[in-house]
Structure 1
């Protein structure tokens, strides 16, 4: 990509890399396009937050935009970007039709983060005390909205191979509309390994996760009520630190010194607290996507115990960075084993490094992704002709979101 191109990112929220994996993911995408020489504008209808990244320090222009407002049309016409990246399907739903009308030749990318309909369908199945079935997705209204958004976009970036498989097999979406782009990390070498705290230098169990995310709150409840009492029976002096951004009062109330259950809230430096813990516990019972907390654990050389949903699509055929189990007794035993047995712990740590270096290196994906983007830009009309359902969803008779937006805009005047 020789000429300087413009990329507009439309963000659901302003990126907070220290608060969530989604924030970290967005910074990785920004860095990828910066390395290709793009001029980047990040626009969002969200309120500023105390923890948002300083975009201007990254060389990114920041722009606040309004929902349901013609001012966006004026803004995007003037900017005239070659590529627009929607951060989650809700942003494509809100702004995609405006982009299509005002910049029809702009390549429209959708970063799905994770499949929201999968997370919600699993959550519903869990609450109804039944097993999740892929056909449950058909019953989710969010699935209809999310899949429509994927079909309207030129290319959707997916972080989970399992979710790509679901979209192909359940929703019959053409694989030419996806690109597998997981978290993009730097390699971990033996010198960096030596800088990590040793088994003896570490102490305590840890859980970390943004509390605005329902699977994290549920996992903390599960730890408090079921798993942690069993661990404490076997390790009476054990301590569990619960870290996470945006803890509500119901989270804070779980703090109990006598039980060794400490609610610590937001970590000033998440990497630092994970690096000094001995074992990460992540008993996730529903969710989707790739779990940033578990990748971060691997980067910090901290073994973990998680569930099958926690480890889903993360390690391929490679052995896990600790243990994966859905059985409560087994989860407890494996957590204690990892905490006490140095040899098992070191092996688990090495497994984590191997997973990072074989599955998540930026170098494995970046060049190929850039090539795919260039090919799409060079023959965008042909690509869109091959996506008839996407074109149909852009047709005016099906644009309920557009006309609802215009109605709200008129009403607001």
Structure 2
């Protein structure tokens, strides 16, 4: 039995998963013993496998993943849907390459199988499934940033499609007439055809299922549909930022992120309290030059603010939460800032310090699990001026201790 056959059997038995120890057993001949790392790097370079984030020396070869579809729920409301159809059979290995390219965003690193994957990024999910016999790849996206994630997915597929010489395909969108909405297989329109009709000011098209007139603008009224899908990365800034992050992820999976910042999360309605905390921290920051404190006032005009926040979250060693009614009511904080902070705290990479500005329903949130920097039954708004000054000094010393900046 050849080494290649042995590798295939081992990975098949492990449902696509293998480790470096497996490779030692497979490539044990003298001629391979000194080349294992090089051979593994070649497999990764040719998109045959990827390293599982957070799992040392553990890899997935997508071509050997289970055939059975993973089990998960899906919100069918307000989905963006796009389908690629191919004139001939989809080239073997093409979808494997897509999985490898997108692997940093695989949901829980579990929702992936041989012909499909569920991606999750910024509270937005994308389901991408290859129907090989039907010669199609279908995408549907749900969540807060549907347009951006759809653009990244189509960008990656366009790169792969364009690398296949002579490959004939087209992008299609589903009809949204009342008849098609209730059909398991609605009528699909060519996206290029719809764009041509728009450019020619022909705003209606007939559905071949219901024979009803459908407004073309309602089919492709989202920016991601109206923009030409480009393989050269020319997209809007937020999409470009997501693509750049995705391209960096495989390299970052071999590195350990150094958390060395203080991230302050607050409601903009509580800016006066942010200012008080900043003033109290200034002497410590001057004395401890290594101490870096970040809040969104650091974002300059023209910066990609969402990306700046994500970068700061990734580098945070301590998160300071200014908790009030305003803070708990903020959808942005609840959906974008708290989830990565709480996840990092659970992984013991970050310390959460929260400050009660006012009485609030913090007990109804996960914040209740963490120690407050000041007694919650004595919120800062209830204190006298002198008591508040004393409280700020104590709080800032706790922040300094949590960061553990060397003297």
Give the TM-score range, shorter chain.
0.3 to 0.5
TM-score (norm: length of structure 2):
0.32
Q: In proportion to residue count, which structure has more strand? A: 2
- The structure, 1 or 2, with the larger RCO (C-alpha pairs under 8 Å, 6+ apart) is 1
Q: In proportion to residue count, which structure has more helix? A: 1
**Larger Rg: 1 or 2?**
2
